[in-house]
Structure 1
Amino acid sequence: MEKTSAPSRGEKHERSLNFTTPAPDLVVSLNVPYVAAELVIAAFSTVGNLLVCLAVGINRKLRTVTNYFLVSLAVADICVGGLAIPCAIMTDVGIPRHNLYLCLLMLSVLIMLTQSSIFSLLAVAVERYLAIFLPFRYHTLMTPRNAVLVILVTWVLAFLIGLVPLMGWYKTPPESGYCFFIFVVDMTYMVYFNFFACVLAPLVVMFLIYAQIFATVKRQVRRIAAERAQGEAQTRRAASMRREIKTATSLFLVLFLFTVCWIPLHIINCFLLLCPRCAVPLPLLLTAIILSHANSAVNPFLYAYKMKAFRRSFKAIFLCCRVAVDQDDTVDNGGTTTHRS
C-alpha cells in the first residue's frame, strides 16, 4: 500500500509522481479502475482465505504444524482484503485529512500484515528445514503448542514493526493535510528498515533454506535409487523423500509468488528515496500496488492446485453447501416430504 493518490485531472503532472510537496488547495479524484480492481481482489482474498481456514478447521488431516503457519498467513490475507484494501482506497483520495496519527495508523496496517506474512513464510521454511535435517527432534520441537507460540511471536513482532512510523519515524505532513503515503511515511524507514532489514533479509534466508532442502533431498533420492538392495524400508524412505520434495515445491511456490508480487513496489520505493527527482509513472505505481495486494488472493488457488488434501477439503466444503441448498429446496407437504424436481 506504499502509494500516493492520483492528482486531479486538471494537474499537469498527473501521470507521474515525485517528492514535490502537493499544493494546499490540491483537489483529488477517485480512480475508478484502481478502486474496482482493489474491490475484486478484496473479495477473492477474503472468501478464498476464509475457505483455507475452514478447510483446516474441519479436516483433521490438515491440522499439521505446517498448515498452522499457512492459516496464520491466510488470516493476514483475510485482513488485507477486509481491512487493508479499504484503508488503501480511502488513502487513495487522501482520507483522513488533517488527522496525522489516524493517517499513519491506516498506512501502517498493510505494513503490519505484510510483515506477518513474511514471518509466517519464514516459520514454514524453518519448520520444513527441521523436518528434513532434524527428523528425530522434529516432533519434540515442532509441537502444536510451540507452533501457536511462534505464531503469536510473529504477529507481535509484525505489529511492532508496522507501528514504527507512529512512534515518530514519519515526515512532517504537507499543508494540504491529505493522507498520502509518500508525503507522510519516511522513505528511509520504508527502504532501509522495512525493505532491506525486514523484507529482503528474511526472503534471502528463506531462499537459501529451500535451496538446501532441494539439494539435500534430491541427493538422498538419487543415493537410494543407486543402491541395488531395494528393500521395503528403502522403498518407503524413497517415497517419503519424494513427498518432501513435492511439499517443499508447493511451499516454495507460495514464497516465490509473494516475492514476485511485492518486490516491484519496494523497488519503486527505492527509486523514490534514492532518486527523488525521478518521476514514477502513476499507472506503473498503481499496477505495483494492485500486484502486491493480489498476492493475498492467489494462495487459496495455489493450495487447491498443488495440494491434494486442500483440494479435497475445498471440494467437500462446496459439496456440503450444495447439499444444504438441496435440503432447503425440500418441501414439507402435509407431513409428507417431497422433493422439487
Structure 2
Amino acid sequence: MHFITTPSLFSSPPPEDLVISPNVTYMAAELVIAFFSTTGNLLVCVAVGLNRKLRTVTNYFLVSLAVADICVGAIAIPCAILTDIGMPHHNLYLCLLMLSVLIMFTQSSIFSLLAVAVERYIAIFMPFRYQVLMTPRNAVLVILATWILAFLIGLVPLMGWHKTPPDTGYCFFVLVVDMTYMVYFNFFACVLTPLVIMFLIYAQIFVTVKQQVRRITSEQSGRGDGQIRTAASMRREMKTATSLFLVLFLFTVCWIPLHIINCFLLLCPRCYVPLELLLTAIILSHANSAVNPFLYAYTMTAFRDTFKAIFMCCRTVFSDNKSSPKPFLFSAHSLCMCCGLTWRIPQQSHSASSRL
C-alpha cells in the first residue's frame, strides 16, 4: 500500500494501490486564503459600487481583477483542494474543467492588469485622446473581451491538449494537464509576454513623469499657477502608477515561482521537487488573490477611506440592531442608506483619470 500527500511530484503514473493522504496544513492554508480572497475583494467591489468617487475607468479594471480573485477564492481554491486528493475519480472532462478554472481566472487577472497599464499609458501619453478612448462603455467592452479570451485560453486542455489519464482515474494536475501547454503556451505566451509588456509600460511611465516633474521644478523663474498645477498633476500620476505597479509586482512575485517549477518539471521530468517547495509555491500563487484589497487600503487613500466608512456603517447597523427592541432587517438598502457617510469622505480634486 502506497501513501502520498500530493500528486504533483509524480513523473510516472502512480501505483494501482495508491492511497491519498490529505495534507491538512496545505488545506488549512488554502481555506484561509479563500476566505480573505473572497471577502476582501468583495469589499473592493462594494466600495466602488457605493462611492461614486471610485467609479473611474481604472477602478473598473480593478473591479474585474477583484471579481477574478473572488472566483479564485470561491471556486478555484476548492477545486484545487479536491484535485490535491485526486478527485473527481474517473471523470476526465470534469477533472480538466476543475483544473482549468484557476488558469481562466489567473489569465483574466493578467489581462485586467494589462488593461490598467494601457489605460495609465493613454492617460499620461495621450491625455487629449483619453476621454474619447477610455469611456465607461469601452472599458466594459475591454473587460468582456479579457474574460472571453481568458475563458478560451483556460479551456484549451478541454479541447484536446492534455495527457492521457492513468488507469487509477485520479485527477492529478501533472498527470492530466500537459506541461508543454503550461510552459510554452500558458507561461511563455499568455503570462510572461503580457508581464514584460506591462513592466515596459510602467518603466516608460516612471521615466517620463519623473523627467517632466524635474523639468517643471527646475523652471524656477516665471512659474505660474498652470505650471504648479501641472507639477501637482504629474506627482499624482506618479503616485497612482506606483500603487498600480505594486499590484503588478506582487502578482509577478507570487506566480513566477510556480511557473519556474513547471518549467523545471517539463525540462527534467524525473528530477525531484521537494514537496514543501511545491506546496509553498502553490499557496503563494493563490495568496496573491487575497493581498490586493490590503494593498489598495495601504496605498490608495480613496479606497482606504471608503473601507473605513463601510466598516463604520456595518458597525452602526449591527449596533442599532442590538439596541433596538424591534427586529431590524439588514439589507443592501439599509447599508447604502447608512453609507451616506461614504459620500462625505474628503476627496482630492484631481482629474477622474487619476483619482483612485
What TM-score, normalized to structure 2? Answer: 0.89
Q: Paired residue for 1:326?
A: 319
Partner-residue secondary structure (3-state), 2:19: coil
Deviation, structure 1 residue 83:
0.2
- Alignment partner of 1:45 out of 31, 37, 40: 37
- Alignment partner of 1:217 out of 205, 209, 215: 209
Q: Paired residue for 1:182?
A: 174
State how far apart, in whole Å, the 1-side matches of 2:5 and 2:324 are. Answer: 64
For residues 25-76 of structure 1, give each alpha carbon's deviation from its aligned partner in whole angstroms, at most 9, with x where no partner exists.
2110111000000000000000000000000000000000000000000000
**1:24–1:174 Cα contact (<8 Å) kept:** no
- Alignment partner of 1:317 out of 301, 310, 314: 310
Q: CA separation of 1:77/1:38 partners in 2, compared to 1, >3 Å: closer, same or farther?
A: same
For residues 155-178 of structure 1, give each alpha carbon's deviation from its aligned partner in whole angstroms, at most 9, with x where no partner exists.
000000000000000000011110
Does residue 19 of structure 2 align to residue 36 of structure 1? no
Partner-residue secondary structure (3-state), 1:101: helix
Does residue 77 of structure 2 align to residue 85 of structure 1? yes
**1:104–1:184 Cα contact (<8 Å) kept:** yes
State the identity %.
78
Deviation, structure 1 residue 332:
4.1
State how far apart, in whole Å, the 2-side matches of 1:317 and 1:49 are. Answer: 14
Q: Paired residue for 2:94?
A: 102
**1:24–1:177 Cα contact (<8 Å) kept:** no
**2:68–2:108 Cα contact (<8 Å) kept:** yes
Q: CA separation of 1:139/1:71 partners in 2, compared to 1, >3 Å: closer, same or farther?
A: same
Deviation, structure 1 residue 23:
1.1
> What is the root-mean-square deviation of aligned Cα atoms in Å?
1.5
Q: Paired residue for 2:194?
A: 202
Does residue 223 of structure 2 align to residue 230 of structure 1? yes
Q: Paired residue for 2:161?
A: 169
State how far apart, in whole Å, the 2-side matches of 1:313 and 1:239 are. Answer: 24
- Alignment partner of 1:157 out of 131, 149, 159: 149
State how far apart, in whole Å, the 2-side matches of 1:186 and 1:16 are. Answer: 13
For residues 68-91 of structure 1, give each alpha carbon's deviation from its aligned partner in whole angstroms, at most 9, with x where no partner exists.
000000000000000000000000
Does residue 121 of structure 2 align to residue 129 of structure 1? yes
State how far apart, in whole Å, the 2-side matches of 1:233 and 1:130 are. Answer: 22
For residues 169-214 of structure 1, give each alpha carbon's deviation from its aligned partner in whole angstroms, at most 9, with x where no partner exists.
0000011110000000000000000000000000000000000000
Q: CA separation of 1:13/1:313 partners in 2, compared to 1, >3 Å: closer, same or farther?
A: closer
Does residue 299 of structure 2 align to residue 306 of structure 1? yes
**2:2–2:15 Cα contact (<8 Å) kept:** no
**1:69–1:151 Cα contact (<8 Å) kept:** yes
Does residue 19 of structure 2 align to residue 27 of structure 1? yes
Q: Paired residue for 2:185?
A: 193
Q: Paired residue for 2:329?
A: none
Q: CA separation of 1:39/1:10 partners in 2, compared to 1, >3 Å: closer, same or farther?
A: same
Aligned AA (1:80) = V
Deviation, structure 1 residue 331:
3.7
Q: Paired residue for 1:3?
A: none
What TM-score, normalized to structure 1? Answer: 0.93
State how far apart, in whole Å, the 1-side matches of 2:246 and 2:202 are. Answer: 11
Aligned AA (1:26) = L
State how far apart, in whole Å, the 1-side matches of 2:109 and 2:78 are. Answer: 19
Q: Paired residue for 1:75?
A: 67
State how far apart, in whole Å, the 1-side matches of 2:176 and 2:265 are. Answer: 13
- Alignment partner of 2:271 out of 267, 278, 286: 278
Q: Paired residue for 2:353?
A: none
For residues 267-324 of structure 1, give each alpha carbon's deviation from its aligned partner in whole angstroms, at most 9, with x where no partner exists.
0000110011111111110000000000000000000000000000000000000110
Q: Paired residue for 1:296?
A: 289
**2:119–2:134 Cα contact (<8 Å) kept:** yes
Give the count of matched residue pairs: 325
**1:129–1:209 Cα contact (<8 Å) kept:** yes
State how far apart, in whole Å, the 1-side matches of 2:193 and 2:245 are. Answer: 16
Deviation, structure 1 residue 230:
1.6
Q: Paired residue for 1:239?
A: 232
**1:56–1:67 Cα contact (<8 Å) kept:** yes
Deviation, structure 1 residue 18:
3.9
- Alignment partner of 1:266 out of 240, 243, 259: 259
Q: Paired residue for 1:60?
A: 52
Deviation, structure 1 residue 22:
0.7
Q: Paired residue for 1:138?
A: 130
Deviation, structure 1 residue 24:
2.1
Aligned AA (2:304) = R
**2:114–2:194 Cα contact (<8 Å) kept:** yes
- In structure 1, stretches of 5+ residues that fail to align are 1-8, 334-341
Partner-residue secondary structure (3-state), 2:164: coil
Partner-residue secondary structure (3-state), 2:20: coil
**1:108–1:163 Cα contact (<8 Å) kept:** yes
